């Protein structure tokens, strides 16, 4: 993933590098390296970053609520929000969270306007 795209996603979410690192599950220095081109995210992290970008431009998701919930829920928050918005993320964690959300539809309101 391009370093400019990573910074763009972080800016769309109106987050500092430290906040962004928290929700991706990496250190502040890792985000800094990604944004300077000195490092690259794993394939799983790229999927998560793509989901975060899609979430940040989804019209029926409140940006303030999204940021707040992502910061409180961390990596799981991204997976939850993506599932709520119908954004597919591969992997066993994502599948488990998606199944849980389908059973607990009131969780959808965490991210909606």
Q: What residue segments make up the domains of the chain, in order of their start?
A: 3-110
Helices 17-24 and 28-36: crossing angle, nearest 10°? 110
CB 90 within 8 A of CB 98: no
Q: How far apart are CA 93 and CA 40, in angstroms?
A: 22
Calculate what percentage of the chain has a pLDDT beyond 70. Answer: 70
Dihedral sign (CA 79, 37, 21, 16): negative
pLDDT digits (tens, 9 = 90+) for 21-42: 988 889 999 999 999 999 999 8
pLDDT digits (tens, 9 = 90+) for 39-76: 999 887 888 888 888 877 876 777 788 788 788 877 77
Q: Which pTM was predicted?
A: 0.70
């Amino acid at each position: 993933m391009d370093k400019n795209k990573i910074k763009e996603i972080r800016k769309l979410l109106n987050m500092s590098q430290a906040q962004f690192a928290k929700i991706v599950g990496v250190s502040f220095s890792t985000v800094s390296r990604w944004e300077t081109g000195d490092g690259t995210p794993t394939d799983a992290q790229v999927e998560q970053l793509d989901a975060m970008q899609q979430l940040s431009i989804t019209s029926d998701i409140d940006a303030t609520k999204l940021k707040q919930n992502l910061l409180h829920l961390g990596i799981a928050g991204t997976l939850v929000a993506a599932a709520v918005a119908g954004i597919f993320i591969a992997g066993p964690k994502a599948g488990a969270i998606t199944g849980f959300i389908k059973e607990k539809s009131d969780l959808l309101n965490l991210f909606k306007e």
